[in-house]
Amino acid sequence: MEYGSIERDLHVDASPDVVFEVVSRPEHMREWWPDDARFEPAEGAPGELFWRDKATGETKTVAFTVVEVDPPKRFSFRWCHTGTERGGDSLLVTFDLVPTQTGTLVRMTETGFREMGWEIAVLEEQYRDHVNGWDHYIPRLGAYAARLASTR
């Protein structure tokens, strides 16, 4: 199996402008992905993503750095840094948005797994966790964006 990147394509019944808001604004992102998100959608801006474990009540915080903001075409960020304070290697997530006749094609790509320096067992586990996560969250992104578009 190749552990280099994860790609997911999704057609959304919403304009690129709406989808861009959904992937790049914390108030929308928290509706489909993390329990909470705090960041400014500006290149180089630091931020944090938060997930709460419903069973234990514990919160996991993940550092997040905005890389590219090109409305309504692309939004990307780095996360899962190997070092403290956003240093070291990290994974790059990019949302490319392509207009279609009926909405937007969303292409999510996450890269950098092999560059993280993980032992093979950790690499395989992290890759599987991220595949499963995106398989869960990408459809939620589409559903939320379509709902948001229908209210405008």
Token pair belonging to 33: 């992905």
Q: pLDDT of 71-128, one tens digit each?
A: 999 999 999 887 666 667 899 999 999 999 999 999 999 999 999 989 999 999 999 9
Average pLDDT, stretch 11-17? 97
Q: What is the pLDDT of residue 12?
A: 96
> Which among 71, 74, 104 is positioned nearest to 92, based on CA atoms?
74
Q: What is the pLDDT of residue 10?
A: 97
> Who's near 105: CB < 8 A, 6+ residues apart?
9, 10, 11, 12, 97, 98, 99
| Percentage with pLDDT > 70 across the chain | 96
Q: What is the pTM of this model?
A: 0.94
**β-strands 36-39, 91-100 pairing:** unpaired
